[in-house]
Amino acid sequence: MIALNQRYSYQDICTSMQILSECYNDFTICRIVGTSQDDRTIPMMRMGFGSQNLICTAGIHGRESVNPVLMLRMIEDYAQGFRFRQSIGGCDVSELLHRYSICFIPIVNPDGYEIATSGFDVISNPIYRRMARARNISSENWKYNARGVDINRNFPCKSYVQQQLYEYPGSESETQMLMRIFRDYETVAYLDFHSRGKIIYYYRNAMPNTYNQKCRQFARALQHVSGYALGRREEELLSKVSGGNSVHFYSELTGNPAITIETLPLDAPFPTSPSYQLDAYEEIKSIPLSMLASL
């Protein structure tokens, strides 16, 4: 059902998630977990029977339009693997999803995704639309939400730095949604998928050495299945304004592993062509399962 090598609109993603949930309703549930600044719903698919959850997110940056589609395909393949007792990447899907559950949020920033794929006219709020156009950033390169805030710099953690006069830590509805998920669910780890350089980042500057050593072990397991490089510790905060990420907040809140997966070549242009989807999916399709198997 979920074909790669093609574009999906925000509505396509939402509709596909609902259809998949109906097809596999004996072990999945799809529900709305939040609303964007421009009033788009944010769906989440929870799959499995375990009380402990692995959180997987994509689409925090609007212009990174490949990963939401890859996560949609991942949902479908994992559902089929669970039902038909198959293995993916050497991992027994049914066995793992009887012990754990996975919460997939493929499109954390639906406003940004729609702007990057369809232009600024999709912004319903006229004030936000004018603000966005005034930034002099092309819609294809838009990574922010409809209000022009970078969601991945908006989390209330030690590395947060204010970047817009009208924002504050946790100010955005998309940020608040993810914070609620982290707090309301019993979680074991968090994987955040981005699109720049085929790198796995695991080091968290605010966390103790024992934490980072443990996360490095998990990252090495994910490197084994993906072939991606491991990010160096000095690359975690490349500038004073690169903090405030969802992984920083989660690690400080829970003490559990929080790992960033950067798909696609470093030179992949925006808007990102769907032609990258097939290769990228083969690289990352078993990463959440491998994470669970490594716990």
pLDDT tens column, 84-113: 999 999 999 999 999 999 999 999 999 999
The domain locations on the chain are 10-294
Per residue in 243-276, pLDDT (tens digit) is 899 999 999 999 999 999 999 999 999 878 899 9
Catalytic hit among 64, 167, 262, 283: 262
Residue ranges of alpha helices (H) inside the chain are 10-23, 66-83, 93-99, 110-118, 126-134, 173-184, 209-226, 246-254, 277-284, 287-294
Q: Which of 13, 215, 239, 169 is nearest to 104 (CA)?
A: 13
**Coil, strand or helix: which one is 55?**
strand
Residues 292 and 25: their CA atoms lie apart, in Å, by: 22
Q: Is the peptide bond before 288 cis (omega within 30 degrees of 0)?
A: no
- Contacting residues for 84 by C-beta, under 8 A, at least 6 apart: none
The ranges of the chain with pLDDT < 50 are: none
* pLDDT for position 240: 64
CB 293 within 8 A of CB 218: no
Q: Is 114 a catalytic residue?
A: no
Q: Quick one: CATH architecture of 10-294?
A: 3-Layer(aba) Sandwich (3.40)
